[in-house]
Amino acid sequence: MNEDDQHLANALRRRLPSALEGLMDRYGNGVYGLVNRILAGAGQTEDVEECVSDVFLAAWRRIDEYDEEKGSFRTWLLILAKYSALDARRKLLRRPGAGPFEDRVADGASVEDKVITKEASAEMIALVNDLPEPDRTIFYRRYFYYESVEQISRGLSLTGKAVENRLYRLRKMFKAKLGEGRLE
């Protein structure tokens, strides 16, 4: 662990308020970016900000769980962020009327834009649901549940390379379909 992170972790263990401020200054952008990517399509800006606050509060409360032998301080914090964001995403998607492709067009968007977005979402859902197994499961596990390639490969008894190849082919197929301006 680098010296700055060691100092920060020790200050958090002593419950110094300046340590929490330093933590947010040092890692705020990285945590916000990760949480924002995970909550994309499921929550609003306020949900992202609330989750980021929860991550830093969790780091403050759980600093005694950090073990520098297991990994870097940054990694520990980002793991907290990942699981907090995944929990928040699941809660947000359980709300009535919420879904992974719910119409999230800006309030100022025209009715036409909203209709087009809703149609594109429906076509995308149909395309994903038409994927053969295990491609559909791999797609959902990677892009909706944010599982790592390693987790997916273990869960489906595939090699990591096989999962990566399937994901590559899926992205290529989606890009080609979306590039045509229509989904078939």
Residues across the chain:
184
pLDDT at residue 1 tops 50: yes
Let me know whether 122 and 83 are in one domain.
no
Same domain, 148 and 175: yes
- For 9-42, how does the pLDDT look when each residue is reduced to its tens digit (9 = 90+)? 999 999 998 999 999 999 999 999 899 888 887 8
Determine, yes or no, domain membership for 173: yes
87-146 pLDDT per residue, tens: 998 888 887 655 444 444 444 556 766 666 667 667 777 788 888 999 989 988 887 777
What's the half-sphere exposure (Cβ side, CA atoms, 13 Å) at 3?
0
Q: Which tokens sit at 22? A: 């330093």
- CA–chain centroid gap for 102, Å, is 17
Residues 6+ apart with CB under 8 A from 109: 117
User: Which domain covers residue 126, as residue numbers?
Assistant: 111-179
Q: Could you tell me the pTM of the whole model?
A: 0.55
